[in-house]
Amino acid sequence: RGHESNISSSQISPNERYVLTYTGANRDNGGVAEHLLRLWDTQRELAHSETQITPVVLPLAPDTDIALLAFSPDSRWVYVIDSQNTLHYFPTALDDLKEQACIAVGRNFSLSEWERFFTDVETKKTLDYRKTCANLPEHPSAVNP
């Protein structure tokens, strides 16, 4: 799924595999902006023969305004400087992102989170629950729903 607000900044990685997009400006209708940073991996989607590229949403605090977006020369890292001059950095490899998320959160998805994020909008079908952090136990709500 793409952005619902206009993209206010974008960057292509040096190896041309990744595209970074940010929405921070107000929506056309005057509504509140998304303030979302998304990483698009074009190679991963092509390798999996998917018809639609699905981005990874990189975590930023709500209402974070971005001053600068950049990739490392080897395209392995995304660097973001916000309007408060705080540096944020994220790995571009999905497995590295997943590992960092598991460390930061310290648990697997709850059943309600799983249903929220892993339900197809069109078919309303939810994927079968599975652990996303292999080294952590299933969330109690998923074990005893």
For the chain, which residues make up each domain, given as ranges? Answer: 1-105, 106-145
**Which among 108, 111, 105, 107 is positioned nearest to 126, based on CA atoms?**
111
Query: Mean pLDDT of residues grouped by 10 in the chain (145 residues)?
Result: 69 94 66 75 65 73 84 95 91 84 90 85 84 90 76
Distance of alpha carbon 9 from its chain centroid, rounded?
Answer: 16
What is each CA distance from 29 to 4, 32, 33, 119, in whole angstroms?
11, 9, 10, 28
How far apart, in whole angstroms, are the C-alpha atoms of residue 16 and residue 43?
9
